Amino acid sequence: MNRRKIFTGAVLLVLITSILTFYLTKGIPLIFGGSAIVPRQEYELMKQYNKLFQVKNILNNDYVDKIDQSKLVDGSIKGLASSLGDPYTVYMDKKDYQDFTTQTTGSYAGVGIVVSVDKDGHIVVVSPIKNTPGERADIKSGDIILSVNNIKVSGNNLDQAVSLMKGPQGTNVSITLLRDNKMINKTLTREIIKLETISSTMLPNNIGYIKMTMFDENTSEDFTKALNKLKAQGLNGLIIDLRDNPGGILEQCVNVANELLPKGLIVSTKGRNKRDNQVIYAKGPGLGKPIALLVNGGSASASEILSGAIKDRNVGVLVGTKTFGKGLVQSIIDFGDGTALKYTSARYYTPSGVNIQGKGIEPNYVVELPKNYVVTDKPDLKGDTQLIKAYDIVKSEVK
């Protein structure tokens, strides 16, 4: 999940320099080769990062080639972020940030798969996006990506793996996967991935069906339009398909939840700073009709926030298989120069107080799909066992 926070940031190198400048401008003597009168906190900070400046000076003076200072600084910042061992905390240079922004605002050339990092540090496919090269190549949720274009990848270089899979439209990319302990090689042709996140239709007995593929900047608005259209047709109950929905923007998820839930808690977040401690409530009145959500192992993040709220508040039921298990909130700091820092700022908790990170959410009704059955964009009430179960539940609750 992504909350955007925009303010001017400063590099650590600038911070240290500013400390020294402060004392000089204030007339506090700094005696080189002797003692300096500085507060203990600043002194300890300078001691702690002394080696960083030693390395910088060695490279500047003695490295075989001339140093590009901007690359040196960017590399230092990336190192600070990656040292946490959190794959969701990364410094994004201009290209990385542009690619990241595109994923939630528009379209891009790539293969159309959403990835994350599992507890073992593997890059794992959360879900392929519908009607993309990834889906047509039969890449599945749970596949582990071992290499891209023969370059080994892991959770430690997630951004590099994502960047390698993107590229000019019409070019090829090779991906090596691990599935059921077997290596699988795929060659995909990149194409423009259009992010259309909502589709809907009316099923028999006026039971509405809305498919949500992710939560981007237009999702909640498109969801409301689809829901209002179904209401105008005499909606009796609603099925929301969140299978293989990897999540997206928290605000969009909250807006969708507001359409469905009566007044009460949607989600809470807890971090180290007060600004990251939020309790988010639905305004109501909610849909007031039977609801079932379809979920699976590719339902992650924002999908799990919506699913957790629906289940914990007893507003509807979940049908399918256990969700992915991403219960972390990411914040974005835009430095104003085309770069940004994405970092984990909080954990989120469902209304019952559960953080599902690494655990996922168990559905009310566990239903497996038939072996080799492929879910399509069109709802199938003959072969899709999960949809059939959800439909029967909603139908039985229609008054």
Q: Is 144 exposed, middle or buried (0-12, 13-18, 19+ CB in 10 A)?
A: middle
Cβ contact 289:397 at 8 Å = no
H/E stretch holding 100 reads helix 94-105
**Which position among 140, 289, 311, 326 bears the catalytic label?**
326
Q: DSSP letters of 346-367?
A: EEEE-TTS---TTT----SEE-
Cβ contact 188:111 at 8 Å = yes
Closest listed residue to residue 223, CA positions, set 193, 259, 262: 259
**Which position among 312, 334, 345, 389 bears the catalytic label?**
312
H/E stretch holding 164 reads helix 158-165
* 326 catalytic residue (yes or no): yes
Residue with tokens 């300078």: 46
Residue with tokens 């959403």: 114
CB proximity list for 321: less than 8 A, separation 6 or greater: 295, 296, 297, 363, 366, 367, 368
Among positive and negative, which fits the CA dihedral 211, 101, 78, 9? negative
CA gap 347, 327 in Å, rounded: 6
Q: How far is CA 43 from CA 9, 37, 46, 47, 50, in A?
A: 22, 9, 5, 6, 10
Closest listed residue to residue 224, CA positions, set 198, 187, 263, 190: 198
Closest listed residue to residue 137, CA positions, set 161, 113, 114: 113
Q: Is the peptide bond before 285 cis (omega within 30 degrees of 0)?
A: yes
Q: Where does residue 384 fall: left (phi above 0), alpha (psi -120 to 50 degrees), or beta otherwise? A: beta
**Which position among 220, 301, 307, 345 bears the catalytic label?**
301
Q: DSSP letters of 26-39?
A: TT--B-TTS-B---
Q: Which residues are catalytic?
A: 301, 312, 326
